[in-house]
Amino acid sequence: MMPLLIVLAVVVLVFAILPYWFGIRTEKTMRSHQHLLEQNSVVEVVKYNYQRGWFDSTETTVLRFRPNLVQKLGSNMPDNLKAIINEPFTITNHIKHGPFAGGVTPVKAVSTSDVAFSPRAKQSLERFFRSQVPLTVKNRLNLFGGGVMNLQVPAFQYEELSGIAIDWKGLDVELDYSDNYDNYQVKSHSGGINVKLADKGQLALENLDYTAHSSQNPSGLNVGSNEFKVAKAMMAWAEGVDYNIKLNSIINMMSDLQIGAFINPTGTVAPNNIAVNNFSLKRSTDENAGFANAEAVIHFDQLHYGKDLYGPLDVKASAEHLHADALVKLNDGFFRLSNTKLDEAQYREALIKLAKTEGLPVFTNNPVFKISQFDLKMPDGQLKFTAEFGFNGLQAADMETFNSLMAKTEAKVHVNAPQVLLENLAVAQADSIFSVDPDVENPPSMEEVRDTARMLVRSTINNMASAGYLTQQNGIVDSEMVVKNNELLLNGKRFETAPQQNIDDLMDEGAVAASEVQAASAPVVASAVK
């Protein structure tokens, strides 16, 4: 009888001690998660506290969105969103630890999160979610490491008497991770969102899916694959509404990096309606012997751009032989810059400096960048494009002068496109550069400027075809450009710069007509360049 009592006592003691022991291990795991959270570029930790008990514990984290993110959004945010994003919020994790904290299946711990917002932010959220909890997070810590986290944002419908209406379909995310998140899988789905801005316009996104599988190599580089898909994305503005959008502002707002600084800052979305069907982006990265290779595949079925229809689009791009250690340092440098208040000029300068320091091994180890496929059906025909670009034997000193850089640069570009497409691109560029000055007496119409641009493209193509720099057949222009050993070859022929000539000498049969149009357009060029 006595041995049985001793066994029972030992069992009871073990089950009494196990939750405490699991609590110690759980705290260690949760604090490591907290350390990783501090390294992200979206939110910053204002305050952190962990209270460990015998059977359960409480973890409290006060967060706020990083100032750089708020700065990017700027005046683009509605007042309701400003109230949410400008103020701190608190995440409280209620943790139960022990082998049976999650039920029959043994676990280390189970955590349920509450998210509390400031009174002002809470008032704004209640307008949309009403009595629903805006964000629910459940985290299961596996017995032998890692865990599964589930995040949910519930659906809601919101409407105002003004005609503004929002139909949010909800969001579900599942994250299956290992300890320290050095290996994880993500599955997320949202039914989308439909926003009606009364009589001003509409925004709609349907069926958004994101999946990823990533692991961290000893070099610190994350390798794996991910895919983002959208069944439909649509934006529309009513006639008479100022719908111009600066392209670089959108990119800066939606990315951690201000890469929009390298894009034409006056670029705008011209039509009052845009829609994309079945868009997908697949990316993959691997590493071999200290060098990384990355590939991206882009596709959409159709793009409605105003009255024009584009698609399908198929793009395959890759980067090969990239120094892995340098890539990790570049990523760390990007993180530092993204949390620094810089204007676009300062940011551009900082990126160039970063490339010449931490990123230098990327460029001095013979990297190759490729676009192996670019096929796009356009209203004017099919555009096909391939390109390969890289450096061969580049040294740090070569990056200081253009001639030295070009001597180590190798590139090959092949273009196959309808001539009318090239003409229309020139016309579009002319529209964006020139405008008619109202102070000019009897100014020519913009149509005359467009005719001039179209005639110049035709003349250039005809002369280049005659010189053997490209082929021209059935309205299709085909040419291959090669840069190597500081030489430029077009269709295998070294490109020779012709002596400067009068524009009339470059014209074909339409020389007289074109020169007259050009003369008539001179006031536009002289006085109306933006």
**Contact predicate 253/229, CB 8 Å:** no
**Contact predicate 108/143, CB 8 Å:** yes
pLDDT (0 to 100) of residue 76: 52
**Contact predicate 85/73, CB 8 Å:** yes
CA dihedral 419, 318, 252, 344 (to 10 degrees): -90
Distance CA 97, CA 54 (A): 8
Full pLDDT tens readout for the chain, 530 residues: 556 556 555 555 555 677 788 888 888 888 888 887 777 777 888 999 999 998 899 999 999 887 766 666 555 556 666 777 788 899 999 999 888 887 778 889 999 998 888 888 888 888 889 889 898 999 999 988 889 999 999 999 988 888 888 999 999 999 999 887 889 999 999 999 998 887 788 889 999 999 999 998 888 888 999 999 999 999 887 765 554 544 444 444 444 444 444 434 444 445 678 899 999 999 999 999 899 999 999 999 998 888 888 889 999 999 999 999 998 888 888 877 776 777 778 888 888 888 888 889 999 999 999 999 999 998 888 999 999 999 999 998 888 888 888 889 999 999 999 988 888 878 877 776 665 455 555 655 777 788 888 888 888 888 888 888 889 888 899 999 999 888 888 888 888 765 444 434 434 444 444 444 344 444 433 333 33
Token readout for 452 is 């001039």
Give the CA angle between residues 319, 320, 325 to the nearest 5°: 100
Cβ atoms within 10 Å, residue 313: 19
DSSP class of residue 41?
S
**Contact predicate 50/30, CB 8 Å:** yes
**Which residues, 6 or more positions from 266, have their beta carbon under 8 angstroms from its beta carbon?**
246, 432, 530
Distance CA 481, CA 468 (A): 12
pLDDT (0 to 100) of residue 207: 97
Secondary element (H or E) of residue 334:
helix 324-338
Q: Kind of pairing, strands 487-490 and 493-494?
A: antiparallel
